[in-house]
């Protein structure tokens, strides 16, 4: 248990990791934390987590967000482009964000938010915490080879998961004393061998990212990890939104007692 001086209220940072469609599980995590009245003072996020985090930070009701994700489809995020290093433009992601929260800037958000992206030239993490929110989300979620790199302040940016898939350190830099991290890449062994090329690629990506992020994710005060015991849910399974949200809720509920004890919240 973490002890805080009785006169000081710790600042809580919520970290939402990348995971393509499985990022929908973050909605369940947020719902569970809200049910226990866990305060969220900062949100640091990557890729799919940045999409969920930005919309929530803007003040969109979490139950409304839950309804929205059950209607989305991959065509909402694709705008095919020619003569660029990617099949589709990240502008489609921008349009999606603008549709639900408007073309707002970071200063307009209800909760301080920052997105992590990766500089394709250096491989370094790039923090985006100013300017247009939709542009930041698109830059953080530009999966290489599918989306053309985003261009921001002269830097060519790709998916933040390459440099920092569970950006715990970013939450600390924002001012968080206590960090709750949500990791939606399952730790467990898959139940069934992949049957499609994209599933094979996705599984390989999971294994690589899990190793890369382990050290930083481990620096969270509480790490919420998605577990899919009943079935495998793959990167492109948007149609399994309800199951993902439920799994996120279950994962957060498992650690609710620890979080409430650490933060001295009423049970």
Distance CA 162, CA 160 (A): 5
Catalytic annotation, pick one of 89, 139, 140, 159: 159
Torsion of CA 205, 145, 242, 31, to 10 degrees: 80
Please answer whether residues 185 and 227 qualify as being in contact, where contact means their C-beta atoms are separated by less than 8 angstroms. no
The Cβ of residue 108 has, within 10 Å, a number of other Cβ atoms equal to: 13
Catalytic annotation, pick one of 47, 139, 140, 256: 47
159 is catalytic: yes
Residues assigned a catalytic role: 47, 159
């Amino acid at each position: 248990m973490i002890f805080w001086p009785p006169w000081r209220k710790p600042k809580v940072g919520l970290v939402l990791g990348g995971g393509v469609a499985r990022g929908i599980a973050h909605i369940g995590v947020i719902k569970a934390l809200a049910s226990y009245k866990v305060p969220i003072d900062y949100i640091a996020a990557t890729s799919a987590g940045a999409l969920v985090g930005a919309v929530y930070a803007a003040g969109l009701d979490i139950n409304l967000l839950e309804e929205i994700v059950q209607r989305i489809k991959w065509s909402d995020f694709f705008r095919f482009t020619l003569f660029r290093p990617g099949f589709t433009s990240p502008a489609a992601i921008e349009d999606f964000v603008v549709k639900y929260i408007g073309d707002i800037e970071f200063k307009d958000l209800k909760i301080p938010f920052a997105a992590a992206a990766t500089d394709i030239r250096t491989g370094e993490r790039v923090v985006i915490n100013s300017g247009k929110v939709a542009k930041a989300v698109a830059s953080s979620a530009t999966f290489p080879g599918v989306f053309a790199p985003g261009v921001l302040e002269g830097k060519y940016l790709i998916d933040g998961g390459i440099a920092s898939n569970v950006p715990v350190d970013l939450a600390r830099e924002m001012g968080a004393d206590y960090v709750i991290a949500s990791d939606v890449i399952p730790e467990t062994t898959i139940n069934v061998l992949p049957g499609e090329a994209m599933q094979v690629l996705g599984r390989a990506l999971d294994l690589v990212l899990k190793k890369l992020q382990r050290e930083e994710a481990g620096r969270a005060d509480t790490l919420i990890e998605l577990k899919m015991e009943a079935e495998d849910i793959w990167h492109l399974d948007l149609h399994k939104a309800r199951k993902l949200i439920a799994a996120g809720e279950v994962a957060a509920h498992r650690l609710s007692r620890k979080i409430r004890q650490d933060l001295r919240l009423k049970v």
